[in-house]
Amino acid sequence: MNALLEVSKLQVQFHRDGGISRAVNNVSFTVLQGQSLGIVGESGSGKSVTIKAVMRLLPKHARIEGEKLTFLNQDILALKEGAIRHLRGRQVAMIFQDPHAYLNPTKTIGSQLVEPLLFHRLATKQEAKQRGIDMLRQMGIPSPELRYSQYPFEFSGGMLQRVMIGMALIAQPTLLIADEPTTALDVTVQAQILKLLKKIKQERQMSLILVSHDLVIAANTCDDIIVMYGGQIVEKLPSRKLVQESRHPYTRGLISCTPTVHGPLALPDPIGGLPLNLRQPLPVGCFFAPRCPHRFDRCTVEQPKLINMGNDHEVACFLVQNVMGGVTQ
């Protein structure tokens, strides 16, 4: 499979009020055609900033550096404003947490849905309407003809998120980026939306990046998982290996912290301490060391690199490195 999106050594810093916030530190990953990748982390882990940097959606005071940042071999950082808009609208589509914030309350759902088609001149008005209604039907929205001419306030949150997904898909993008798409929804609706996302991803052979704070959701929806902490990737592995084979203490901690309805009936083991404050000077060693139950001397003086464990599994932790006998990439 071809590499669709390649990110190598991405760094993002925010300079403001005389301070520096190091939001993303040396992040590298690749998204293949047809692959779904989950990026998981808590608040301040840099997961959203990474995605926004890739789509050039960050404010002006953000400093983005990277060895490589390409989409289908085009250098994203070098693209002109017009080209990046073309990229965002046609090849890469995005959906966000709060559909209300992205929909114009004074325009009908239909007219907003087909906007990308008309904007990029992909269809005539009549064709666009037909495709819009088809899209609503595919998104599982009942009586799509009627819904097409209704306004956002006449939809529930779950319905609007379906419309947003439809809007993202209508120009047939090659990559869909979903940033916390179900966080604002009720649990039953969330399950429906995630199923829908998986279905369309499979049917269209499209790539998907799902950004989430919820490890379970990401693992259930995506082929591969990236776990981020303090703006770094700490572990990268296929989802099916997550529960059994993940090695990083932070990933293990997240798994044991996440309450489930069928797990053991004991309180989850918490990860001690507080999340890394990216506004303060960063630790010399491993960013997770201050909270890590297994830390030893080396962790506080040296930063672990991502080590390939084979079978698409990479970990940045000295514990693993010790066991592996220091195999490096």
Binding site for other proteins (CB under 8 A): 42-43, 139-142, 156-159, 162, 186-192, 194-196, 198-199, 202, 213-217, 219-221, 239-240, 242-243, 253-255, 257-263, 265-277, 280, 290-291, 293
- DSSP letter for each residue of 69-113: EEETTEEGGG--HHHHHHIIIIIEEEE-S-HHHHS-TTS-HHHHH
Name which of 6 and 224 has its Cβ closer to other proteins.
224
Q: How far is the CB of 66 from other proteins (least distance, A)?
A: 27
Name which of 63 and 279 has its Cβ closer to other proteins.
279
Phi/psi at 265 (nearest 5 deg)? -90, 40
Name which of 101 and 265 has its Cβ closer to other proteins.
265
Q: Which of 176, 181, 166, 173 is nearest to 114 (CA)?
A: 166
Q: How far is residue 104's CA from residue 2's CA, in Å, rounded to a whole number?
A: 37
Q: How far is residue 236's CA from residue 308's CA, in Å, rounded to a whole number?
A: 9
Q: How far is the CB of 324 from other proteins (least distance, A)?
A: 24
Contact 210, 40 (CB under 8 A): no
Q: How far is the CB of 126 from other proteins (least distance, A)?
A: 26
The strand pair at 307-308 and 232-238 is best described as unpaired
Name which of 46 and 66 has its Cβ closer to other proteins.
46
Query: Two tokens at 203?
Result: 């049917």
Q: How far is residue 181's CA from residue 210's CA, in Å, rounded to a whole number?
A: 8
Q: How far is the CB of 196 from other proteins (least distance, A)?
A: 5
Name which of 101 and 267 has its Cβ closer to other proteins.
267
- Sequence-distant (6+) residues with CB within 8 A of 191 are none
Q: How far is the CB of 286 from other proteins (least distance, A)?
A: 13
Q: How far is the CB of 321 from other proteins (least distance, A)?
A: 22
Give the CA count within 13 Å in the CB-facing half-sphere of 167. 25
Q: How far is the CB of 194 from other proteins (least distance, A)?
A: 8
> In one letter, which amino acid is 146?
L
Name which of 63 and 213 has its Cβ closer to other proteins.
213
Name which of 38 and 66 has its Cβ closer to other proteins.
38
Name which of 66 and 166 has its Cβ closer to other proteins.
166
Name which of 86 and 137 has its Cβ closer to other proteins.
137
Q: Which of 80, 20, 34, 76 is nearest to 52 (CA)?
A: 76
The strand pair at 36-40 and 224-229 is best described as parallel
Q: How far is residue 17's CA from residue 75's CA, in Å, rounded to a whole number?
A: 31
Q: How far is the CB of 16 from other proteins (least distance, A)?
A: 12
Q: How far is residue 172's CA from residue 266's CA, in Å, rounded to a whole number?
A: 46
Q: How far is the CB of 23 from other proteins (least distance, A)?
A: 16
